[in-house]
Structure 1
Amino acid sequence: MKIKYLKVMHNANPGDVLEVTEFEANILIKTGVAEAYEEPKKTTRKTKTVTTEQE
């Protein structure tokens, strides 16, 4: 599980995102040291097709 640290710890600074076990994540979240991190969803761009009419 990925977590984002909110406080300074021995292995991370505030804002760092690390992968930890589910057990570790739950402890860190409940103690207020970290929060669950969800990666932003990637949006796909739709390309606009332009057609030109020739006479």
Structure 2
Amino acid sequence: MKIKYLKIMHNANPGEVREVTDFEANILIKTGVAEAFVEPKKTTPKPKKEVKTEE
């Protein structure tokens, strides 16, 4: 499980994202040291419509 650290720990600084076991993640989340990290969904850019001009 990926977590984002909220406090300074011996192996991470605040803001770092690390992969840990579910057991470790649950303990760190419950103690307020980290929060679950959800990766932002990647959006696909929509193709731009071509504008036709009359000449």
Q: Give the TM-score of the pair, scaled to structure 2.
A: 0.88
Query: Which of 43-52 and 3-12 deviates more?
Result: 43-52
| Distance in structure 1 (CA, Å) of the matches to 2:28 and 2:43 | 31
Structure 1 equivalent of residue 13 of structure 2: 13
1:9 and 1:51, CA in 2 relative to 1: closer, same or farther beyond 3 A?
A: same
Unaligned residue ranges in structure 1 (runs of 5+): none
| Residues matched between the structures, number | 55
Aligned-pair CA distance for 1:27: 0.2
Structure 2 equivalent of residue 44 of structure 1: 44
Q: Deviations over 1:3-44 (max 9, x none)?
A: 000000000000000000000000000000000000011111
Tell me the C-alpha RMSD between the 2 structures. Answer: 1.5
Give the fraction of aligned pairs with identical amino acids, expressed as a percent: 75
| Distance in structure 1 (CA, Å) of the matches to 2:28 and 2:51 | 56
